[in-house]
Amino acid sequence: MIPLTHSLFVGALLFTLGAAVVLLRRELLFLLMGLEIMFNGAALSAVAAGQHWQGAEGQVLAIFLMAITTAELVVALILVWLAYQRFQAICVDDLVALRDGRSEDSP
Amino acid sequence: MSTWLWLIPGSPFVGALTIALLGGRLPAARLPWFACAAAGISALTVAAAWLGGAAQEPLRQTLYIWLAVDGWQPSVGFTLDRLALVMVTVVSGVGFLIHVYSVAFMDKEAEQRRYYFYMNLFLAGMLVLVLADNLLLLYFGWEMVGLCSFALIGFWYRDPVKAAAGRKAFTVTRIGDTALAIAIFLLFVQFGTLSFDVLFPLGEGDWEGATAVALLILVGALGKSAQLPLQVWLPDAMAGPSPVSALIHAATMVTAGVYLIARTHPLFELAPGVQWTVAAIGVLTIVYGASCALAQHDIKRVLAYSTVSQIGYMFLALGCGAYALALFHLATHACFKALLFLSAGTLIHSAGGEHHIGRLGELNAGSRTVQLCFLVGAASLAAVPFFTAGFYSKDAILTAAWVAPVGGLLWLFAALGALLTGVYIFRVYLTVFHRSAEPLLRPRGRLPTPIAVPLLLLAALSLSVGFLEFPEGSGGPHTWSTWLESELDLAKHPEHHTTRVLQALSALMAVAGIALAFPLVRRERAGKSLPWQSFLQTGWRFDALYARLFVQPYHRTASALARWVEQGLIEAGLNGLTRGFWVMAAGLRRGVEFGSVERGLTFLVVGLQRGHAMLSATQNGLLSRYAVSVTTGTLALLGFWLFWPWGG
Amino acid sequence: MPWLTVLIFLPLVGGAWIWVRANGQVEYARRGALFVTTVELVIVNFVWLVAEPGGDGYLYIERHAWIPAVGIQYLLAMDGLSLVLVLLTALLGPIAVLVSWNAIQHNWPAFAFLLLASQAGIMGVFLSFDLVLFYVFWELMLVPMYFLVGLWGHERRLYAAYKFFLFTVTGSLLMLVAILGIYFVHGEQTGNNTFDYFQLLNTDVSGTRGMWLMLGFFVAFAVKIPLFPVHSWLPDAHTEAPTAGSIILAGLLLKTGAYGLLRFCLPLFPEASAAFAPVGMALGVVGILYGALLALVQEDMKRLIAYSSVSHLGFVVFGIYAWNLHGLSGAVILMLAHGVTTGAMFALVGMLEERSKTRQLSEFGGLLSPMPRLGAFLLLFTLSSMGMPGLANFVGEFLVLAGVFQHAAGLGVAGALGIIFGVVYLLWMYQRAMLGALRRERRWVDLKRREMVSLGIFAAAVLWLGLYPAPFLDILQGPLGVIMESGPHLSTGEVSGGQ
């Protein structure tokens, strides 16, 4: 039996690592990977909590999370691919169309 | 018999309704006869009532409750007592004859439907008036005949003068009507009922309001009966067709005032001053009417003024307490005046609408029958002694006047009137029928039957009705006054000798008047006119006086109100108010809107622009920067909840 | 069935339905409006026939909570007084549609909706017994009327609509203040905050406070009636409104003012009203004479009739403040009579205007020859208007004067002068329009069947009211008796001091 704190610690670690990747890297694919890791951290916490309270909800939540991430990933990958195709962009800093007042010099 | 009482006013009423609603479907030729039938049924019912015992016991019938408020329930109900019986007989009889006469007289007219509608409606209204068992219903009939009079005077409404005459008649009589209405209200407030049966026993007590009420009723009667000072409408009312003048403005409607006073006489007995005023107005009107009749050239206007004057006799009788005699004169006058009007109408008709007596004489349009009828009527009007009805009725009034307070004076005026009556009516007769020049128009052949029969019947009545009541002190029967005694007290007469002298004098007056007419006519033919001709011809200039005194000030008040109060005060006030609002709004716009609001808004806008410039820098489109801020924010919130001492 | 709710909302819903569905089809809108108003009339008659008075004299009561927190209810009730006025409202509905048939040139569906909506508002005013609900309907009837005048009126319609709106809104704001005033007074006295009319009846409002509150109501009603000197909106609004608008204005809107006096001013503030009665009667007399005099100098026929309304409504106020059974009954009967008579007169002028495009008396004259039917109808209603016995107005005027004479003979005589004044201007009008020689050669067409029907209904009503008013007087005795008892009886001396 793994104590709750351990699994939560691992979950938090995963989440933090993912967040660090999202914040620090600039490549689009890395960002996606960072996001997945954050999801995994969250799912792990859910499973652990479910085990702690002897309930199935945690595992149900984890399964849903996996399904949702899959779906999300599909859309996101298409978007990344499109971004590459349209703007030749693999780096997130190349996509600045939302910048205020400078829409004319979009990449 | 009581159950059929409603038929007396009901049959002409139904007739009028049918003519109004379905008249378009009836063949035009049948319409007059239909109207006659309606009037005839009414007359037949009256005859049946005579036979059915109405002469002994009053008949009563209540149809329904008209209004019911607070225990007071004036009904639509009829009472046929002796007083009403006299009136009903005169109205329905003369009414029927004149309907028949109209069939031939109005033959060529275009809008007969309107004519017969109003004629039938008039009969219904007049019969309701005299049969009503309460004052409210009487007022109903009173107004209805006023309406029909208005509509029939203005029958030829395309002529604005005739239309205006109708309006004048309605307006002037309405003044009297309003006085009557006020009297009704006062009676109602005092006694809580308007039924004659209940009212008049009560009225015999001591009541100080009696004077006011009697005076108001008198004003009402003056208006309807065209007595001084409300007589101005009647001469103009001659604008209507002749049968209308005969029926409404001679025989029936104008005598409604006499009926009203006779009906309410207990009230007048409580107010002797008012009763004497009735007599005084009567004699003044006698002289007024007779003097004006002297100077008229329009044959119908002569007859109109004569009607005014003759009703004066009835008022004199009422004022002296000789109610039965007033009614007697009413009945005889209805016969001979209707006769005069109808023969005058025939005359005018055959002369192609000529009214001027001089020219009528030149045209010599009357046939023998017409001349005879007019002569009978004129003799009866002038009270030729012994064989005319007018003599018996007028003579009795003259003697009765002697015993009233200041009776000598009253008698003097009345006798003067009798003299003038002979003069003016025979002036007309002589001018029209005894013209020396060659006749221009050949008298037509036979008169049409519907014209001849009423004329001859009325002529016969004008000669014979008088024998019902022989002069006081003579041996003949006194059927009339003894029969009416139970409802209307007997008249007082002076002692035997005086009576005889007075009778002789008044007979003399009549004859003298006729004798005076000859030199007058001769004078006129010579081209000389009467002294004061225009003053008399315009009816003592009453019209001009009233126009000055009432009509113009009234119009001026109305215009002044419209200009000064409505426009000057109210509208201008409103405009001022609106203008004030404008000024205030403009001031506010300058002061508040430009001063504070506008400036505040500018300030706000500039501030917002600056803030926008600053915030705009943060929106740089770099995803990772956004991510950093989201994470930082989340962490900060998390830290706040978890570690802030008083958070979470 | 909640008949009262049906009565109010049937025209509203029907009107909205027509507006939405008609899609610009004139025929659909006309027939639909006629259908709805006729159904409404049938329902009212049915309600009248089956009505059985409850113990308290009310024929129907509907009570639902609306905003309980502040004591506002959806409270409808009908007694005899409401019933006769509802009858009048329902009767004028189909006629207003009929006279507009060809007169309204554009946007019939919207016109139908507004007409029906104002009818619904008026129904609501006559039926609601919660003061807030009453106020809501009171304002509700204004808005459609504003648009009716403003959109379909004649030349100066915007001015007239504006004036009408400003006058009435000013009045009703004062009434709102007074409603709140009596609400708080009642709450203070009983601890029970409610706008329920039946409970407010028991409020003891006396002294200066009562007088001020009463005046708040009175001003709102006086504007609506309208009394001299706040009548100024009426001639403009009547003149500029389309025919149906004039009929609704004269026939119904003015009645809501008099109804308000009877329903609220007198029973809620008996003492203040009793003290005010001499002033009220004096205002009535001034209105009678002033309206009659001004009517004489009008050239525009509609304006003339508008001033005659001022005169007649003066009689109504006169009777109300006489405050006895005769005066009150007379006032209500006169309200009905005036609604019918003046409505008919406006309809007639509308028909003349349709034919000649003018309302100026100087343009008419001699019209009896080409249009005998129209002339006959005009004479009938003119006679009724001047108080000919046997026709509608007489019964009302007579009872009013009979009531007034019991208190103040002097004022009564002044009021009776109104009868003479009336004959002067009405006959003058009739003569100028109908008699004399034909002044303008036009192709005058006499009344058509549709017009005959609408005028025939009016004529029947005028004759019924004039010859056999007993059914109406009977159902009025109960409610008017209640109003009588609510007040301290005026002693004769007290009021005759106001002569």
- How many angstroms away from the CA of A79 is the closest CA of chain B? 15
CB C400, CB C322: distance < 8 Å: yes
Q: Measured between beta carbons, which residues in chain A are less than 8 angstroms from residue B620?
A: 96, 99-100
- Please state, in angstroms and as integers, the Cα–Cα distance from residue B495 to each residue in B320, B400, B492, B543, following that order: 16, 11, 9, 43
CB B428, CB B299: distance < 8 Å: yes
Residue C496: burial class (beta carbons within 10 Å; 0-12, 13-18, 19+):
middle
Q: List, for residues B479-537, the tens digit of each pLDDT value.
A: 888 888 777 777 778 888 888 888 888 888 888 999 988 888 888 888 787 778 888 88
A49 Cβ under 8 Å from any chain B Cβ:
no
Q: Is the ipTM of this complex over 0.95?
A: no
For residue C345, the model assigns a pLDDT of 92
Q: List, for residues C230-242, the tens digit of each pLDDT value.
A: 888 888 888 888 8
The Cα B215–Cα B211 span in angstroms is 6
Chains A and C are in contact, defined as 3 or more C-beta pairs closer than 8 angstroms? no
Chains B–C, number of C-beta pairs less than 8 Å apart? 132
Q: List, for residues C268-305, the tens digit of each pLDDT value.
A: 888 888 889 889 999 999 999 999 888 888 888 999 99
| φ, ψ of residue C74 in degrees (nearest 5) | -95, 90
* Domains of chain A (ranges, CATH numbers): 4-105 (1.10.287.3510)
Whether B67 sits inside 8 A of C473 (CB atoms) is yes
Per-residue confidence band for C492, with pLDDT thresholds at 50, 70 and 90: very low
The full DSSP string for C167-184 is HHHHHHHHHHHHHHHHHH
Residue range B613-632: mean pLDDT, rounded: 82
Name, in order, each residue with C-beta under 8 angstroms of B65's C-beta and a sequence gap of 6 or more: B73, B74, B75, B76, C470
| B100-B103-B109-B110 Cα dihedral, nearest 10 degrees | 110
For residue C441, the model assigns a pLDDT of 76
Whether B174 sits inside 8 A of C470 (CB atoms) is no
Q: Which contiguous run of DSSP H or E holds residue B109?
A: none
Whether B619 sits inside 8 A of A26 (CB atoms) is no
C46 Cβ under 8 Å from any chain B Cβ:
no
Q: Does the bond joining B519 to the residue before it have cis omega, within 30 degrees of 0? A: no
For residue B284, the model assigns a pLDDT of 93
The Cα A17–Cα B299 span in angstroms is 132
Measured between CA atoms, the residue of chain B closest to residue C292 is B558
Tokens 């971004």 correspond to A83
Residues 178-217 of C with CB under 8 A from B: none
Per-residue confidence band for C498, with pLDDT thresholds at 50, 70 and 90: very low
Classify the phi-psi angles of B386: left when phi > 0, otherwise alpha if psi is within -120 to 50, otherwise beta. Answer: left
For residue B437, the model assigns a pLDDT of 58
Neighbours of B434 (CB within 10 A): 13
B442 has a pLDDT exceeding 70: no
Subunits next to A (3 or more Cβ pairs <8 Å) are B
Amino acid at B414: A
The Cα C386–Cα C345 span in angstroms is 12
Strands B59-65 and B75-80: antiparallel
For residue A44, the model assigns a pLDDT of 92
Q: Convert A1-16 to b/e letters by CB count within 10 Å (16 or more is b).
A: eeeeeebbebbeebbe
- How many angstroms away from the CA of A26 is the closest CA of chain B? 8
Tokens linked to C474: 């009977």
Between B23 and B378, the higher pLDDT residue: B378
Measured between CA atoms, the residue of chain A closest to residue B615 is A100
- The interaxial angle of helices C108-127 and C26-50, nearest 10 deg, is 20
Proportion of chain B above pLDDT 90, given as a percent: 24
The Cα A7–Cα A41 span in angstroms is 10
Q: Measured between beta carbons, which residues in chain B are less than 8 angstroms from residue A28?
A: none
Proportion of chain C above pLDDT 70, given as a percent: 97
pTM value is: 0.82
Per-residue confidence band for B43, with pLDDT thresholds at 50, 70 and 90: very high
For residue C499, the model assigns a pLDDT of 30
- How many angstroms away from the CA of C477 is the closest CA of chain B? 7
Whether B163 sits inside 8 A of C435 (CB atoms) is yes
Tokens linked to A21: 């990747």
Nearest to C256 by CA among C134, C417, C427, C98: C134
Q: For the ranges A75-79, B1-5, C281-285, which has the lowest average pLDDT?
A: B1-5
Select from C166, C398, C406 the residue whose CB has the most chain B CBs within 10 Å, as the one to mutate to test that interface.
C398
For residue B440, the model assigns a pLDDT of 54
Neighbours of B539 (CB within 10 A): 26
CB C335, CB C122: distance < 8 Å: no
Q: Measured between beta carbons, which residues in chain B are less than 8 angstroms from residue C416?
A: 178, 181-182, 185
Residues 588-647 of B with CB under 8 A from A: 616-617, 619-624, 627-628, 631
Tokens linked to B289: 């009417």
Whether C419 sits inside 8 A of B185 (CB atoms) is no
Whether A23 sits inside 8 A of B628 (CB atoms) is yes
Q: Which contiguous run of DSSP H or E holds residue C67?
A: strand C60-67
- How many angstroms away from the CA of B509 is the closest CA of chain C? 42
The full DSSP string for C68-133 is GGGTEEEEEEE-HHHHHHHHHHHHHHHHHHHHHTTT--S-HHHHHHHHHHHHHHHHHHHHB-BHHH
For residue B1, the model assigns a pLDDT of 67
CB B238, CB B249: distance < 8 Å: yes
Q: What is the mean pLDDT of chain B?
A: 86
Chains A–B, number of C-beta pairs less than 8 Å apart? 34
Whether C424 sits inside 8 A of B144 (CB atoms) is no
Name, in order, each residue with C-beta under 8 angstroms of A21's C-beta and a sequence gap of 6 or more: A30, A31, A33, A34, A37
C-alpha angle C417-C419-C424 in degrees, rounded to nearest 5: 100
The Cα B221–Cα B239 span in angstroms is 22
Nearest to B297 by CA among B544, B534, B541: B534
Using CB atoms, pick whichever of A19, A95, A100 lies closest to residue B623: A95
For residue B646, the model assigns a pLDDT of 66
Report the SS3 class of residue B336.
helix
Give strand pairing partners of C76.
C62, C128
Strands, E assignment, B538-607: none
Residues 453-482 of C with CB under 8 A from B: 467-470, 473-474, 477
Whether B157 sits inside 8 A of C477 (CB atoms) is no
C492 Cβ under 8 Å from any chain B Cβ:
no
Proportion of chain A above pLDDT 70, given as a percent: 92
Per-residue confidence band for C199, with pLDDT thresholds at 50, 70 and 90: confident
- The interaxial angle of helices B256-263 and B210-225, nearest 10 deg, is 160
A104 Cβ under 8 Å from any chain B Cβ:
no
The Cα B274–Cα B215 span in angstroms is 6
